Structure 1
Amino acid sequence: MELEFKGACREVGRSAVLVDDKLMMDYGVSPGEHVKYPLNGARPEAVLLSHAHIDHSGAIPNLMDLEPDVYMTPPTFDLTHMLAKDTLRIAEREGEMPIYDSIDLSKFAHQTKQVDTGVKLHVHGYDVEFLSAGHIPGASAIHVRDKENKSLFYTGDINTDDTRLVLGAIDFPDSDILITESTYFGDEHPPRKEVEKEFIDSVQDTLNIGGSVVIPAFAIGRTQEILMLLDAYGIRAYVDGMGVEAYKIMLRHPEYLHNPTHLKKAFDNATLVSGHKRDKIKLESSVIVTTAGMLNGGPVLYYINKLYKDPKSKIILTGYQVEGTNGRMAMDTGNIDNDGIIQHLKPKIEQYDFSAHSGDRELKEMVRDFCNRGTEHVFTMHGDNCEGFADWVKEEIGVEAFAPELGERFTI
């Protein structure tokens, strides 16, 4: 089995792994000031997508001139298609040249075969199975077995702990090769209940003094989880942005949700906002959950523009802030670029760890479990310290481990 790493090598973003020049697992982009794409030159016969986030899915429509067969779970298809359409809308509005067009997007929809988790299928000479990866609704790890019975397990983005939105990943199959994400290697997540309590206390403290809370949240996964958390504590919120459309998609696939009844209740109890209705929101003792999660565009900038001089208010970040984004600038300097205007933020800026990825302990336990069951080669990717993770595997477990460089090829 030959592996070529086209992206997410010693970095977070633009995940892409090519198997035997035939199967492409993920094909994403890295967001930020300058978007980064996977290395080009691949001509896969099939594409296997782990989940909808654009750092895994964002460049797949660019492959449609090759007419590959594309496979993913039903919610992943709906969410990916939503994001791809939004990417085209933004490019058109800003006069940019996207890497794909509406024809490519139509081909993407036509070429995609939707496959539920746990269903085994045969793809261009390989046995393939998608298995629940936790993380977000529809997210899957991918198990591949070739004609010589060599097997590969690709985690994509994985979470073995339950969240309010999705159940954690369990029951991994034996595999000769493991390709694992490394996002939080070396970093432990604090207990989720403690994070939720501190978050809710902070929101309530702000409301009690007449301030408002702006909660930038990723459209897929984080918006829905935060709404469920707020609802559990009886806090009614406004919700704006693409997270509303993502919620409606998720409800069409209740079998991929931890508690679809509570998710629906949380959105029923929230006030949905869009477009001209934003001006009618009373920005005093209000909670607004809105995209974009890294403050790069989206309705969040409208709300910040209204509140950035108010020291009683807060901006509560709920996700990882990539270098070069407005969110990272806000954390590092207290400033953001709001439509070309540099604004100094007087609201307090806080960040809480609501990560949908496994932390250090869970990653190590997963790798050790695979190796105890026969895994002989481990590849670490999608992280800031992939080399450190590979060294840990070699030193602590005694199994061959590699942190691939961009474009590096391996024959197993």
Structure 2
Amino acid sequence: MKLEFKGACREVGRSAVLVDDRIMMDYGIKPGEVAQYPVSGARPEAVLVSHAHLDHSGAVPSLMDIAPDIYMTPLTFDLSSMLARDTLRIAERSGEIAAYDSTDLSRFVENTRRIEPGLEFHVHGYRAQFYDAGHIPGAAAIHIEDRSRKSVFYTGDINTIDTRLVSGATDFPDADALIIESTYFGEDHPPRKEIEKAFMDSLTDTIDMGGNVIIPAFAIGRTQEILMLLDAHGITAYVDGLGVSAYKIMIKHPEALRNPTHLRRAFTNAIAVDGSKRDKVQLESSVIVTTAGMLNGGPVLHYLKRLYKDPKSKILITGYQVEGTNGRMALDNGIIDNDGVIQQLAIKVEQYDFSAHCGDRELKGIVKDFCDRGTEHVFTMHGEDTVAFAEWVSNETGVDAYAPELGDSFII
């Protein structure tokens, strides 16, 4: 079995792994001032998508000229279709040249086969199965096996810890090779309850003093979890952006949610903001949950135009911030690029670790589990310290481990 790494090599973003020049696992983009795509040259017969986040699914519609068969879970299909339409709409509105058009989107829908987790299916001579990944609703790790019984398990983004929104991943098959994400190698996450308490203490202190709280949140996963947390503490928040549409899709798939009743209540109690009425939102001890999660575009920039000079208010960042994004610049330098205007932030910026990824302890536990059951090759990707992770795997388990560079290929 040949594995070729087309993206997310010693970086976070644009995940793409090609199997035997035929089967692609994920095909995403890397967000930033200029979006980056997987390296060119792939002509896969099929694409298996782990989950809907753009760094894993965002470039799939650009492959429609070769009409590959596409496989993903039903909820991932609904969410990734929503994001693809939104991405095209944003590009058209801004006058940018998109990587795909409406015809490609139609082909994307037509070519996608929706497979429930746990069901074995066949893909151009390979056996495959999706396993719950615990990352966001609908997310799946991928197991694929060729005719010679060589197999690989690709984690995509994975989390073994329960959150308010989804249960952690628990079920992993045997595999000859493991391809594992590395986002938080070397960094353990604090207990969720501690993070939630610190977050809520900061939020309530701010609104008690008359400040406002802006919570930039990824539309899929983070918006819903944060609203559930706020609702559990009796906080009524405004919710703006694509997270509302994502909720309406998720609630149609209650089997993918840990507590659909609470999620429904959280959105019922929140105040949804129509895009045409943002100027009417009262910024008086208010809490606003809105996209984009890395402050790159979206409604969050509208609110920051009104609040960036206010030292009483706060931006509470709840997720990983890729280098080059507004979120990373806000944390590192206290500035953002707001529609071409560089703004020095007087508003306070804090970050809280509401990660939907495994931390260091969990990543190492997954690796040890696989190696104890006979895995012979481990590949570390989707992280900024994949080399150190691969070295740890080799030293700790004695198994061959690699941190691929962009375009590297291996035979297992």
Q: Determine if the TM-score, normalized by the shorter chain, exceeds 0.5.
A: yes
Match of residue 352 from structure 1 = 352
1:175 alignment counterpart: 175
User: Structure 1 counterpart of 2:21, which letter?
Assistant: D
**Partner of residue 371, structure 2:** 371
Which secondary structure state, in structure 2, belongs to the residue aligned with residue 21 of structure 1?
coil
Unaligned runs of 5+ in 1: none
Shift of 1:163: 0.4
Q: Superposed, which structure 2 residues align to 1:1-20 within 5 Å?
A: 1-20=1-20
Q: Aligned letter for 1:250?
A: M
Matched, 1:251 2:271: no
Counterparts of residues 142-221 of structure 1 (less than 5 Å):
142-221=142-221
Deviation of residue 276 (structure 1)? 2.1
- Structure 2 CA distance for aligned equivalents of residues 68 and 341 of structure 1: 41
If the length of structure 2 is used for normalisation, what is the TM-score?
0.99
- Structure 2: tracts of 5 or more residues without a match: none
Give the distance between the partners of 2:176 and 2:341, measured in 1 at CA.
53
Instruction: Report the counterpart of residue 398 of structure 2 in structure 1.
Output: 398
Q: Partners of 2:45 and 2:300 in 1: how far apart? A: 40
Find the aligned partners of 2:65 and 2:347 in 1 and give their Cα distance.
48
Deviation at 1:381, TM superposition (A): 0.5
Root mean square deviation of aligned Cα: 0.7
The SS at the match of 2:356 is coil
Q: Distance in 2 between matches of 1:322 and 1:209?
A: 32
Q: CA shift at 1:121, angstroms?
A: 0.6
* SS of aligned partner of 1:66: coil
Please give the residue correspondences for 1:100-139 in structure 2 after superposition, counting only pairs within 5 Å. 100-139=100-139
Deviations 1:63-91 (A, max 9, x none): 11111110000110011111111111111
* C-alpha distance in 1 between matches for 2:99 and 2:343: 32
Identity of aligned residues (%): 71
2:373 aligned partner, one-letter code = R
1:163-192 CA-partner distances (Å, limit 9, x unpaired): 000000011011111000011000111111
2: CA distance, partners of 1:318 / 1:381:
23
Could you give the per-residue CA deviations for residues 280-305 of structure 1, whole angstroms, max 9, x where no partner exists?
A: 21101100000011111111011111
1:309-348 matches, within 5 Å, as 309-348=309-348
Tell me how far 1:323 sits from its aligned partner: 1.1
Residue 344 of structure 1: how far off its partner (Å): 1.7
Please give the alpha-carbon distance, in whole angstroms, between the structure 1 residues aligned to 2:373 and 2:357: 23
Shift >6 Å, 4+ stretches: none
Distance in structure 2 (CA, Å) of the matches to 1:400 and 1:327:
36
Question: Which digits, 9 at most, give the CA deviation of each residue in 1:96-143, with x for residues without a partner?
Answer: 111111101100000000000001111110110000000000000000
Aligned-pair CA distance for 1:342: 1.7
Shift of 1:338: 1.3
Task: Give 3-state SS (helix, strand or coil) of 2:4's partner.
Answer: strand
User: Per-residue displacement from partner, 1:176-234 (whole Å, max 9, x unpaired)?
Assistant: 11000011000111111000000000010001111110000010100000000000111
Aligned AA (2:364)? K
SS at match of 1:185: coil
* Alignment match, 2:39: 39
SS in 2 for 1:370: helix
The residue matched to 1:18 in structure 2 has which SS? strand
Letter of the aligned partner of 1:213 in structure 2? V
- Residue number in structure 2 paired with 1:95: 95
| In structure 2, C-alpha distance between the alignment counterparts of 1:28 and 1:89, rounded to whole Å | 18
Q: 1:287-327: CA deviations, max 9, x gaps?
A: 00000111111110111111112111111111111111111
Distance in 2 (CA, whole Å) between partners of 1:259 and 1:12 is 30
Structure 2: how far apart are the matches of 1:240 and 1:261? 21
For 1:77, the equivalent position in structure 2 comes to 77
Give the letter for the 2:121 counterpart.
Answer: L
The letter of the residue matching 1:277 is: K
1:67 and 1:50 map into 2 onto residues whose CA distance is 19
Distance 1:301 1:156 in 2: 30
AA at the equivalent of 2:6: K
What is the distance in 1 between the residues matched to 2:387 and 2:323? 20
Between stretches 291-300 and 276-285, larger displacement belongs to 276-285
3-state SS of paired residue (2:343): strand
Count how many residue pairs are aligned between Structure 1 and Structure 2: 412
Could you say which residue in structure 1 is the equivalent of 2:238?
238
Q: What is the SS of the residue equivalent to 1:350?
A: strand
1:349-395 CA distances to partner (integer Å, 9 max, x unpaired)? 10000010000000000000000011011011011011111100100
